[in-house]
Amino acid sequence: MIDEQISPLGLVRGAEAQALIGAGLALALAPGLAFTRHARARRAGGAVHRDILPLDAAPGYTPPADPLAALGLPGERPLVMGIVNVTPDSFSDGGRFQGAAGVQHAERLVAAGADILDIGGESTRPGSAEVSVQEEIDRVCPVIAAAAPFGVPVSVDTRKAAVMQAALAAGATIVNDVSALAFDPAAAPYLATIGCPVILMHTRGTPQTMQQDPRYGDVLFEVVAELASSCALAQAAGIDRGRLIVDPGIGFAKTVAHNLALIDGLHALHALRLPILLGVSRKSFIGRLNGDIPADGRLPGSLAAAMAGLDRGARILRVHDVAETVQAVTIWRALSVL
């Protein structure tokens, strides 16, 4: 059996991208980005073989449907999603933003330029314990209800159908599931009845097991293939493909080398023809590459990794440091029109 993935390659930006598109030498990929050739990855047996195809040697690329347009979010630029952890044990800011403090933090993130708020009540950091459905609802729903009037869409970060239902009733309009709907068998059938965007993140195992010696034969190929399977299962449950967003799951069942390979090869995820969310903010690989600095010292590395993601076509950046990321995105966009 041979599996094949064809994705954009040879990315160009700004005026160069527009000139090449006009000359028929490039195709549009994302706002400000185009590509000039295709990468082909083929799996035969246990090996993955890669080669490069000219622009006209593969089907034309159609930019994905934008599931966020119906929420009033702009399609001409990358989006910044601000993280609000209403948990006692999240890896970066656990315990700081529960209850009223979470509402205040959400308001600050919107004032700093967040396009979306992502509110979660269960830590899924490596080694974290599962939280009961009721406890998770009690944590997230009051904050979602208070934050919903702040003028930006609210995403609920959860793996559980009952929490999704309560959060959407409280005012959330996006579901972000780190298990790609694999944790709760009721999640996909429930979301098939709801018209909201759904973010599917790649991982393996559970938070308790995912960092116990993660192994891949070819991490880039396998992550894309497994996300493709997650998307197919979502569609089989009745979720329209045009509502899906994919996330490579940086730091989830990945080593430092895996994370770097995924960020550098993020363009391969465009084989799925879906918008890409990238969450690199304050992740442990940044600390490990810089002398094990703590989470609150990882802003420069977070920005560097995020900008690399934009260069490879990321649509959404999920971040803790909104004001700093908005400033970096502004400069990236200014450079992309030159």
pLDDT tens-digit readout, 203-256: 997 777 778 888 999 999 999 999 999 999 999 999 999 999 999 999 999 999
Considering the domain architecture, whether residues 279 and 185 belong to the same structural domain is answered as yes
What is d(CA 211, CA 294) in angstroms, rounded to the nearest whole number? 18
Catalytic residues: 283, 318
| Domain boundary pick from 15, 36, 63 | 63
pLDDT confidence of residue 89: 59
Considering the domain architecture, whether residues 36 and 68 belong to the same structural domain is answered as no
pLDDT confidence of residue 103: 95
pLDDT confidence of residue 60: 73
For the chain, residues with pLDDT lower than 70 are 1-2, 89-95, 338
What is d(CA 23, CA 114) in angstroms, rounded to the nearest whole number? 36
pLDDT confidence of residue 129: 78
pLDDT confidence of residue 90: 56
What is d(CA 218, CA 55) in angstroms, rounded to the nearest whole number? 25
Considering the domain architecture, whether residues 59 and 90 belong to the same structural domain is answered as no
Query: How far is the CA of 109 from the CAs of 39, 128, 178, 195, 247, in angstroms?
Result: 38, 26, 22, 26, 22
Considering the domain architecture, whether residues 75 and 56 belong to the same structural domain is answered as no
Considering the domain architecture, whether residues 59 and 178 belong to the same structural domain is answered as no
Considering the domain architecture, whether residues 56 and 23 belong to the same structural domain is answered as yes
Considering the domain architecture, whether residues 168 and 222 belong to the same structural domain is answered as yes
The partner residues of 292 in beta bridges, in order of sequence, read: none
End-to-end CA distance of the chain: 45
User: Residue 246 sits in which domain range?
Assistant: 64-336
pLDDT confidence of residue 266: 97
Number of structural domains the chain divides into: 2
Given CA atoms 321, 326, 327, 329 in this order, what sign does their dihedral have? positive
C-beta separation of 9 from 229 below 8 A: no
For residue 47, how far is the Cα from the chain centroid?
27
Considering the domain architecture, whether residues 148 and 51 belong to the same structural domain is answered as no
* Angle at the Cα of 317 from the Cα atoms of 127 and 107, rounded to 5 degrees: 90
pLDDT confidence of residue 246: 98
Considering the domain architecture, whether residues 10 and 80 belong to the same structural domain is answered as no
136-161 confidence digits (pLDDT tens): 999 999 999 999 999 999 999 999 99
What is d(CA 33, CA 14) in angstroms, rounded to the nearest whole number? 7
* Angle at the Cα of 28 from the Cα atoms of 68 and 80, rounded to 5 degrees: 35
- Return the CATH number at 99: 3.20.20.20
C-beta separation of 177 from 201 below 8 A: yes
